[in-house]
Chains A and B, each alone.
Chain A
Amino acid sequence: MSSRIPTQDHPGAARPPRSRTRSIVVWTLVALVGATAWTVLALSRGESVNALWVLFAALASYAIAYRFYARFITYRVLRADDARATPAERLHNGVDFEVTDRRVLFGHHFAAIAGAGPLVGPVLAAQMGYLPGTIWIVVGVVFAGAVQDLTILFFSMRRDGKSLGQMVREEIGLVGGIAALIAVFAIMIIILAVLALIVVNALAESPWGVFSIALTIPIALFMGVYLRYLRPGRVLEATGIGVVLLLAAIVGGGYVEQLGLAADLTLSKETLVLALVVYGFVASVLPVWLLLTPRDYLSTFMKIGVIVLLAASLLVARPVLANEAVTSFAREGNGPVFAGSLFPFVFITIACGALSGFHALIASGTTPKMVAKERQVRLIGYGGMLMESFVAISALIAASVIDQGIYFAMNSPAGATGGDAAGAAQFVTGLGFPTSPETLTAAAAAVEEPSLVSRTGGAPALALGISQVFHSAFGGGLQAFWYHFAIMFEALFILTAVDAGTRVGRFMLQDTVGNVWKKFGDLSWRPGNLLASAAVVAAWGYFLYVGVTDPLGGINQLFPLFGIANQLLAAIALTLATTLLIKHGRLRYAWVTGVPLAWDLVTTMTASYQKVFSDNPAIGYFAQRARYADALDAGQLLAPAKAPDEMQQIVTNSTVNGVLQSVFAVLVLVVVANAAVVVVRAVRAGSLPTTEVPAVASQLVEPAGLFASAGEKAAVAAAGSSGTGSAAEVRR
């Protein structure tokens, strides 16, 4: 027998009138706060705007979207049903299938989806002003990103936690499935390369940074041994020790000069690439408990700590935005950080935080196997993504409080600034943001870095913004500490992502090749592991090296590829969700995923088209290739190249990027076309059978939302006292 929560079929119907009135009053107030904040943002031009307006506009919008839209999707569109047992309940094995408390799972899921992405994209997009980024982050998450995470989590949960690739193959078709598999793998490689590139750019020529990041490895190893042999399972203890050691490593980094290590730890980008590639390979073949798991604990706790700290310090410091609402780069598309105009490139640059296809891999990975009750997908899928969006908004604010002269000096490629303060000041002043070499040197001195010029990748600019906000909120002359604290925290979870991503890539490769070469698919076969790991590391290592040595600036060249790849993955996920809604006979609700899919296809295909076919060499990869190839043939050198081999390098890189860009777009179109065939059949038939697992009655009683309602509390209590204790696992 399944125990049902009395109010769950008609939510709100059984509530007494007083609580209903109070609810109406509260939500009207939230709506008013949101409307006021958006109005202030919309009407302010050329005057100073407080960052809190951005924060309140976002928070009020999230609250309303979660309360009304996410509920509508979960209850009406998906028809999540708490009377149905989830895979965690049915297949419970204590390993991957495990009933997990919704609040704990929320933490796990959030830690898996949020990393450096929501911190970096908004920083780069700030070159177009704070307004385009703010609008896209909020509107994007509410109608696209969180909807994708929620629907994919739900559909995967209804299929015992199948992966995105598997679902595409079974629900759309073999052709689409193969295209999706290749796309997922290729996209992962690019994502790893770009993430690693961000770390390299943040650590190059920064002995303090290198010192503290290098120390994270022995710290994690120590925690790994501690958790496995010294005090097994004492995660909080080990993490507490780890965090203290980590903070000591950051403080210690300030003394590299006195320790006589400064010269040895001042590493070039090329050396760092080599170090990262070796690290990535070794880390991905070591046992998980030794390095990956403890590092994961560290980065998760640091992540949550920093986000809470950042939100609190924004409220205390109440900084005024230095950025313009919309800069001229948004219209003209000639910005130095990345080329292209507002449409479509803001929507490509900000992926994580608004819409991130990569999340579909996590929402169809470990999370769906741990959900306790179906309706909790609203909290975990939609709510988790809202939280990531909040991180993105905070990053956008942090990047927008920096003096704009310094912002552009940091984020313009070295080819443009010449790499020194004098050249950078001249270049940035020429852009229309007056600054002086002294200002740039002083900003670098304040955070005890040799230079901040052309520290591209977003991480250094974000760290500077965060250090300013923390400095003005808490005082104490600790700006250099906060800067390196922020760098460390970004590098920490990028390294976790690199480590985990390489391992996942290795499994995918072994699994796929295993179809034709059986032995290779055996995950316990050591040579197979080493070979597959080496292949994955070599793939992202190649792009990392290319990015680091690119005369045009790696971030400038690779970040659009990364963003488009991520959004194309989202297109595959939204295509799957839309197809499934229609196959389930819910055509009238197909717009819920269909509209964001259409928008995503329009932006990514426009961006892909421009990156491939634009005749502007700053945007189109092949136009760029032609320009440099022609000059090379004519024996000329074009800036920023300083030698013929640099010219050749640009020609090769633009060709590779252009080809890759086209392949990504074609793979997605194959999936969409394959899905269109299925959709037409489903519409004709009214509905089609799917691989959804048949319903089994649930024995579990648990609240659906973050907080239990009065009715749910009573139901939980009743299930606990009704003598079904052995069958019903009762939770608070």
Chain B
Amino acid sequence: MRALLRGVRWYLREIGGSARWDAYLASCAEHGHAPVSRGEFERARADARAGSPGARCC
């Protein structure tokens, strides 16, 4: 049961994008960069991806 809850929490963090933010913070720490704010990070990412919206099937 504990494992299941942990799995659900992990999945939600992965699809919700928190995991990606944490990974960014970790990589900044590793390379000694100062991270940008969460807002700047998410906006840059969203704008970079806007060029390939991806079709949605029927």
Contact = CB atoms under 8 A, between A and B. Distances in A.
Interface of A: 94-96, 101, 103-104, 107, 112-118, 120, 188, 191, 195, 227-229, 232-236, 287-289, 292-293, 296, 351-352, 356, 358-359, 361-362, 365-366, 493, 496-497, 500-501, 503-504, 507, 523, 566, 732
Contacts of B47: 289
B16 A94 contact: no
Contacts of B11: 103-104
Contacts of A115: 56-58
Given A115-B56, A115-B57, A191-B58, 12 more contacts: A112-B57, A228-B39, A228-B43, A232-B43, A234-B17, A288-B46, A288-B53, A361-B55, A362-B57, A497-B57, A500-B55, A500-B56
Given A228-B46, A288-B49, A233 B41 contact: yes
Contact of A232 (B12, B39, B51): B39
B55 A365 contact: yes
Nearest to A284: B53
A534 B31 CA distance: 47
B18 A233 contact: yes
A287 B50 contact: yes
Query: B interface, how many residues as a size bin?
Result: 20 to 34
B34 interface: no
Contacts of A195: 58
A710 B46 CA distance: 38
The 4 lowest CB-CB distance pairs between A and B, nearest first, are A117-B58, A232-B39, A236-B16, A233-B42
Contacts of B54: 112, 362, 365-366, 500, 504
Given A232-B38, A232-B42, A116 B50 contact: no
Interface string B16-58: 1110010000000000000000110111011111111111111
A228 B42 contact: yes
B4 interface: no
B1 interface: no
Nearest to B46: A289
Contact of B51 (A118, A361, A523): A523
Nearest to B12: A236
Q: Is the interface of B mostly helix, strand, loop or mixed?
A: helix
A235 B53 contact: no
A352 B57 CA distance: 9
B5 interface: no
A293 B54 CA distance: 11
B17 A112 contact: no
Residue with the highest number of chain A CB atoms closer than 10 Å, among B12, B16, B42, B58: B58
Given A232-B39, A233-B38, A235-B17, A95 B56 contact: no
A296 B52 CA distance: 14
B41 to A, nearest CB: 7
A724 B41 CA distance: 28
A366 to B, nearest CB: 5
